[in-house]
Amino acid sequence: MGLFDKIRGELIDIIEWTDSSNDTMVYRFPRYDNEIKMGAKLVVREGQVAAFINMGQLADVYSPGMYTLDTENMPILSTLMGWKHGFHSPFKAEVYFVSTRRFTDLKWGTKHQITLRDAEFGPVRLRAFGTYAIRVSDAAIFIREIVGTDGHFTTDEITNQLRNLIVSRFADIIGESKIPVLDLAANYDELGEFVTKKIAADFTGYGLEVTKMLVENISLPEAVEKALDKRTSMGVIGNLQQYTQFQTANAMEEAAKNPGGMAAGGMGMGMGFAMANQMGNAMPPGQPQPPQPTQGQQVPPPLPGQVMYFVALHNQQAGPFDLATLGQMAKGGQLNNQTLVWKQGMAQWTAAAEVTDLANLFGAAPPPLPPK
């Protein structure tokens, strides 16, 4: 190899870009005074394209591969430069590498709440957020419309604009869909697909493609969520009246275990009768109930020395009832000699026929008829 060939070989450049970042979309190859030697090697890796720009005008775009730069594989630049009969001297041009890989985990979310009309709750306000992925589909459009002369263009420089597009289209779609608020969680995938199709044309105008759009959460205001939690709790409880009566019975049982409980003081007595009224409402139709006070009427305390019994009805504790009420219940068939009863001071629940105060409520059984 002659000296001239050796010197000429040393002048041949290698133009390439090894990207080590996760957010760089466009990178301008650094050249001193933008001078490129004719015959230089251009290396374009997978996930990249290289674009030559001369005098502010986009020229040739190269897909992945290795190229030796000459007038044959630079047809647009050769035309712009007027190299009709070939050219072998250094020339000036800018080389932009554009990453065509997917940029994932880009965030989107509503800055302000979206107000819409729900069939069940009426006017409601929603917030939503998620992620999306994009890639450069047309490097020429992307450079021309977005990048311009930026020598190091990252995702941060465009995500705000893309997020605004997504939120705008999302608000329009969710408003038109008329999906009930409680059914939105079951339609996240469908909403993501609808938004992707809706914004496709907008992104194409930037030279971009949305490869994935995810709706991760749609939430209500905190006050509405608390009210919804209460409504859910009521649904779990079921019959609220039965639940209240169950709680009342438990409270009465605890009070009965305390000798100075409900019998001590007017407040405790009033609570006892209020509980008795609640349990009275739980009795089956037709069953005698303790006298109910009218509105505004004060509930009197039990007469001194009056005996009060609790009764096991339908496997539930009811009462307390006085002897007169128990007599009516015995006549009506709600109380029989095997019904379990209990009063303060008794060690355990006992059959009514075995309690001295109640034995006379049940008449003696007649003897069997004589044989014919």
* Tens-place pLDDT, residues 128-142: 999 999 999 999 999
Give the model's pLDDT for residue 288. Answer: 46
With cut-offs at 50, 70 and 90, classify the pLDDT of residue 8. very low
* Tens-place pLDDT, residues 20-67: 888 999 999 887 666 777 788 899 999 999 998 887 788 889 999 999
- 192: Cα separation from own chain's centroid: 14
Using CA atoms, how far residue 68 sits from 17, 44, 51, 71, 84, in Å, is 16, 12, 15, 10, 19
Max avg pLDDT among 259-273, 275-289, 342-356: 342-356
> Is pLDDT at 10 greater than 70 in this prediction?
no
Give the model's pLDDT for residue 141. Answer: 93
From the list 176, 182, 179, 188, the residue with the least C-alpha distance to 212 is 188
Q: Does the global pTM surpass 0.85?
A: no
Give the model's pLDDT for residue 152. Answer: 92
Q: Which CATH architecture has domain 103-225?
A: 2-Layer Sandwich (3.30)
Q: Higher model confidence: residue 299 or residue 109?
A: 109
Give the model's pLDDT for residue 287. Answer: 44
Handedness of CA 293, 298, 303, 306 (dihedral sign): positive
Are the C-beta atoms of 192 and 131 separated by less than 8 Å? Answer: no
Q: Higher model confidence: residue 246 or residue 166?
A: 166
* CB-count exposure of residue 246 (10 Å: 0-12, 13-18, 19+): middle
Give the model's pLDDT for residue 33. Answer: 63
Q: From the CB of residue 52, how many other CB atoms can be counted at a distance below 10 Å?
A: 22
- Phi, psi (5° rounding) for residue 309? -120, 145
Max avg pLDDT among 42-56, 76-90, 240-254, 350-364: 42-56
Give the model's pLDDT for residue 43. Answer: 93
Give the model's pLDDT for residue 238. Answer: 61
Residues 6+ apart with CB under 8 A from 64: 44, 45, 46, 47, 48, 49
Q: What is the mean pLDDT of the chain?
A: 77
Give the model's pLDDT for residue 314. Answer: 79
The residues that bridge with 321 in the sheet, in sequence order, are: 309
Residue 230 exposure: Cα atoms within 13 Å on the Cβ side: 5
Distance CA 181, CA 218 (A): 9
> Is pLDDT at 6 greater than 90 in this prediction?
no
Distance CA 161, CA 213 (A): 16
Handedness of CA 34, 35, 38, 42 (dihedral sign): negative
* Tens-place pLDDT, residues 289-306: 444 545 555 545 555 557
From the list 4, 63, 73, the residue with the least C-alpha distance to 40 is 73
Structure tokens at 269: 């007595």
* Tens-place pLDDT, residues 210-264: 999 999 998 888 887 787 777 777 666 666 666 676 677 777 777 666 655 444 4
Give the model's pLDDT for residue 3. Answer: 47
Using CA atoms, how far residue 187 sits from 80, 94, 213, in Å, is 53, 48, 13
- 247: Cα separation from own chain's centroid: 33
With cut-offs at 50, 70 and 90, classify the pLDDT of residue 102. very high
| Cis amide linkage into residue 320, ω under 30° from 0 | yes
Are the C-beta atoms of 163 and 107 separated by less than 8 Å? Answer: yes
> Is pLDDT at 268 greater than 70 in this prediction?
no
